[in-house]
Amino acid sequence: MEEIFPKLFDCPDYIQGKYCHALCNYRHQTEEEKQAIEKYRESLRLKLSTKKSNRFGAVYIIAGPERSGASWLFNAVRLLLIHQDSPFGPADSYRLNHITKNDIETRLIEACGRPLVVRTMRIPDSNWAENLDQSGHGYIVFVSHRDLRDVIDDCLTIGWMKHDIGVILSRLKAYMIAYEYWRSIAKGDFRYESIHNEPVEQIKHLARLMGIESIHAEHISKEINSLRPGQAIGPDQVTKMWPAQRVIEASRANGDDKDDKEMDDKAHETATVVVVPRQAKLSESERKKIRDAHCDYHDRYGYVEAFRKAINEHFSKQISNGEEYDVCDIKRFNEIDEYTLIENNIMSMMYQLINFHYIILIEMQYFIKIMILLIIEYYIIETGLKRLDYDLIRFAINCLTYYYPGLLFHMLVYKRPCILQAV
């Protein structure tokens, strides 16, 4: 049998079918990626004949804390470059926990003109991009963000973090130092909730920022959802996804594995269920401490605690016919005679949103079941203007757009210019 000699940055363990380790900074490629690279090289040979391309490929850096959507972004960029027949060719992808000066340049040389996609979580060396900046090559950074309290809740649920508020605040401080660094030079900042609610649209937006087409956005979205999450001992080397990112929680972890057996029968293979310690989620006092420690971050992205809690409590309830409320489906509000319930829910939020810093008044008026008017007013008290939660702004605009677009335009432009600032 012919011995396989790895190239400079190929992981020797991965080539031999072994698992390396969680933070391996070598290259791991699927057969699909290898075929796409060969196809790209062949096209270059046909176009350039004996000439050789000396250009360096694009550099895409994906940064963000755990459980914030960064792994989704990493795989979206990687798959876009594979499937879209981009002029740059398929990328070499790496996880570099800490980027140093020579990390990018040496891997660009190894890529022979193709792009690099790098997943990172920490702040790099101060001179990491010195040569890239001096040469004018540059790089593109994408970041993702999520309510830090939800990030910690997820980490506690799947056992990635000790439930100790001191440890949690220390970890978040390190996260935020790195995140704010990458955000300051990022070309795109993606919201975790939007990634989950509108994955196809987010892929199209990502492709526009990358300067390539996105005709296969729906296919790529489905492929990301079907990616293998990794082995029980660590993340998948290609996708960088950990097993616990797709772990079956709650009812299945408690013994209700009916769906697992059905999946096994269909797939004709035994699924590995990862059992993780299910620690208690954050208490209200712990959530407040996190919010106070990183209030600028939460205010910037509109993560208002009271509204988020009210939305979860009210709009996730089951309605009389057993279906679940979908806040994005405004038509359902007209099809189902639940206006009184909705009005009570919205008005109850008003009282929860009053504190020493801001007051938000929500007034709803109904016009014969075909028009909804939401007027959102800001009153500045002491600490200044606070941004509304993104979901509430979107909910208000969707209602007005669907029922009375003329009133929406009049209200935003002439009556409530501060809403434009929030949007």
Query: Concatenated DSSP letters for 359-384?
Result: EEEEEEEEETTTEEEEEEEEEE-SS-
Domain final position from 198, 213, 244: 244
The answer to whether residues 238 and 364 belong to one domain is: no
The answer to whether residue 255 sits within a structural domain is no
The answer to whether residue 389 sits within a structural domain is yes
CA distances from 318 to 224, 312, 347, 359 (A): 30, 12, 19, 30
pLDDT for res 46: 57
Domain final position from 212, 244, 276: 244
For residue 71, give both structure tokens.
């792994």
Q: Give the mean pLDDT of 110-115.
A: 81
Task: Give the whole-angstrom CA distance, residue 344 versus residue 352.
Answer: 13
The string of pLDDT tens digits covering residues 215-265 is 889 999 998 887 755 555 556 666 666 655 544 333 323 333 344 334 334
Number of domains in the chain: 2
Domain final position from 194, 213, 244: 244
pLDDT band per the 50, 70, 90 thresholds, residue 3: very low
Q: Is residue 419 classed as helix, strand or coil in its secondary structure?
A: helix
Task: Give the whole-angstrom CA distance, residue 351 versus residue 334.
Answer: 26
pLDDT for res 101: 81
pLDDT surpassing 70 at residue 106: yes
The answer to whether residues 195 and 321 belong to one domain is: no
The answer to whether residues 336 and 230 belong to one domain is: no
The answer to whether residue 181 sits within a structural domain is yes
pLDDT surpassing 70 at residue 51: no
Task: Give the whole-angstrom CA distance, residue 66 versus residue 145.
Answer: 10
The answer to whether residues 20 and 149 belong to one domain is: yes
pLDDT surpassing 60 at residue 368: no
Nearest CA to 291 among 159, 172, 145? 172
pLDDT for res 61: 95
The answer to whether residue 232 sits within a structural domain is yes
Burial of 253 (0-12, 13-18, 19+ CB in 10 A): middle
The answer to whether residues 75 and 210 belong to one domain is: yes
The answer to whether residues 225 and 153 belong to one domain is: yes
Q: Which of 1-10, 87-96, 365-374 has the highest mean pLDDT?
A: 87-96
The answer to whether residue 195 sits within a structural domain is yes
Q: What is the pTM of this model?
A: 0.61
Q: Give the mean pLDDT of 114-133.
A: 88
Q: Give the least confident one: 291-300, 383-392, 402-411.
A: 383-392
pLDDT for res 160: 80
Q: Are 324 and 316 in contact (CB under 8 A)?
A: yes
The answer to whether residue 294 sits within a structural domain is no
pLDDT for res 94: 84
The answer to whether residue 267 sits within a structural domain is no
More confident residue, 338 or 198: 198
pLDDT surpassing 70 at residue 342: no
The answer to whether residues 313 and 240 belong to one domain is: no
The answer to whether residues 336 and 195 belong to one domain is: no
Give the CATH number, domain containing residue 121: 3.40.50
The answer to whether residues 196 and 59 belong to one domain is: yes
Q: Give the least confident one: 287-296, 348-357, 401-410, 411-420.
A: 348-357
Q: What is the mean pLDDT of the chain?
A: 66
What's the domain range around 203? 12-244
